[in-house]
Structure 1
Amino acid sequence: MIHRTPRRTHAERSAATQQRLIATAIEVIQSRSFEAMSIHELARTAGMTSGAVQHHFESKAALMMRVLAELIAAQDREGLLWPAASLPALQRARHFVRSAWHIVYAQPRFMAAWNIYLGSRNQPEVVAHIAALRQDLNARMHTGFFEAFPELAGDPEREGFVGLVFSTLRGLGLLEMFRPADEAAHAQLDCLATLIAQRCDGLARAGAPASKPRPRARPPRAA
């Protein structure tokens, strides 16, 4: 008996085409630049017509919002990112910093996401979507960080400290646009891990009680 593969529905074919276009768009951005990624260029690279691409994404802005959502989803790898809270502080800190660097900040998709962000500043609908995505990612990253480092829960400067941690990682990641990470960058990552561990150990020795975070005047920056 011949088993025929069930024919995909129109919605399934459309979703598959959109995913292929999104993957192609990410490749164009990573290998060239955000500015090089136009509907025409995407169509040429994907072997389609511009009209066929616009059937799925009516504008570059709409496409970029989907691309950014995919890039953010690709970063959402907390299962590999966060160490067990039962480990010694320095071991946890080294695990987190190295994992965050290799999984998120040293990846081409991180640079691609920032290319999208910087290139979309004059597109309000994209900027608004980016802000919502970053806020959601930021909340998840902060939650994971304080679960991995519960000693910091009672730190009255906890939000400032976690902002410093992620700002350092983000800054080193952005430098990847200009040069690959060198020994100095890796030394800074080691220093960051040591700083996290020292703060955890200091608070643990002081027996800092858990306290509610202080009210923030503005939302913390995204990771």
Structure 2
Amino acid sequence: MSARPKMGGRLEAPSIQRRRRTHAERTAETQGRIKAAVVEAVSELGFHRTTAAEISRRSGVSWGAAQHHFGDKNGILIAVLVDSFNRFAERLAGIPTDGEPLEGRVASFVDAAWEHFGSPHYRCTLEILLNMPAPDWLSRELPLRDATLEAWRDIWDRFFGGAGLSARDEVAVQYYAVSVLSGLAAMKRFEGPTVERRQNELRMLKETLVRELGRGIG
């Protein structure tokens, strides 16, 4: 669109027709601000000082509006946990596994998983998991738990589905991997930037996974 001349030879800038955001876009943006405020507050202040007032202040969203979107504080915390798992899944989704040897799949899995587990976002997630009230698995949390476990199994099977371990041993290896990664994430809070030590422990995790998963393949 060209500029329109005004009287006296001056130009008038053309008006720009801005696309109005849809209701869904506005909702997603507001919910994103609320979740980001929780992550920021928990990371800086800790779980117990992340109050409703603090979430509202950081997000710029009234607590009444936040409740409208999530129901209550637990609803917001659960949404942050879901967002954290989705970030984890997205990190691993683009990694090729077809035709890769076990050692390569293990290395790719551990490296990508640590990018997530070692992030401030996951440390916030871990603090929420350790401090929020025990979930009521008979109500709204049950479908979420089942969906999370199914999504986790899909990720694991894409990397290691042909390992041939017994169901019991496979679950044990999965729990071991998550426990090591979560433990390293927790230690970052106390140790500071001890990168070399973490690299050694990640190497040990890779070696253990190759050995245990290789038992089924062999």
Q: TM-score band, normalised by the shorter chain?
A: 0.7 to 0.9
Q: Distance in 2 between matches of 1:169 and 1:108?
A: 14
CA-to-aligned-CA distance 1:138-181 (integer Å, 9 cap, x gap): 33233322332244224462222232222222222222232245
Q: How does 1:66-81 map to 2 (within 5 A)?
A: 66-77=79-90, 78-80=92-94
Structural RMSD (CA): 3.0
Question: Normalising by the residue count of structure 1, what TM-score does the alignment of the two structures yield?
Answer: 0.73
Partner AA of 2:187 in structure 1: L
2:172 paired with 1:160 = yes
Alignment partners' CA distance in 1, 2:146 and 2:85: 11
Structure 1 or 2, whichever has the larger Rg, is 2
After TM superposition, the score normalised by the length of structure 2 is: 0.75
Unaligned runs of 5+ in 2: 2-14
Name the counterpart of 2:147. Answer: 136
Question: 1:203 Cα deviation (Å)?
Answer: 3.7
| Alpha-carbon distance, 1:39 to partner | 1.6
Q: Please report how far the alpha carbon of residue 101 of structure 1 lies from its aligned counterpart in structure 2 after TM superposition.
A: 0.8
Structure 1, unpaired ranges of 5+: 206-223
- Which letter does structure 1 place at the counterpart of 2:51? S
- The structure-2 alpha-carbon separation of the partners of 1:116 and 1:127, relative to structure 1 and needing over 3 Å to count, comes to farther
Give the whole-Å Cα distance in 2 for the aligned partners of 1:126 and 1:177: 30
Tell me, in whole angstroms, the C-alpha distance in 2 between the residues paired with 1:8 and 1:190: 47
Match among 190, 199, 202 for residue 212 of structure 2: 199
Query: Are the equivalent residues in 2 in contact too, given 1:43–1:49 (CA < 8 A)?
Result: yes
Measure, in 1, the Cα distance between the counterparts of 2:109 and 2:165.
20
Q: CA deviation at 1:64?
A: 1.9
Residues 121 and 127 in structure 1, CA contact (< 8 A), matched pair in contact too: no
Number of positions where the alignment pairs a residue of Structure 1 with one of Structure 2: 202
Structure 1 position 106, deviation (Å):
0.6
Q: CA deviation at 1:190?
A: 0.6
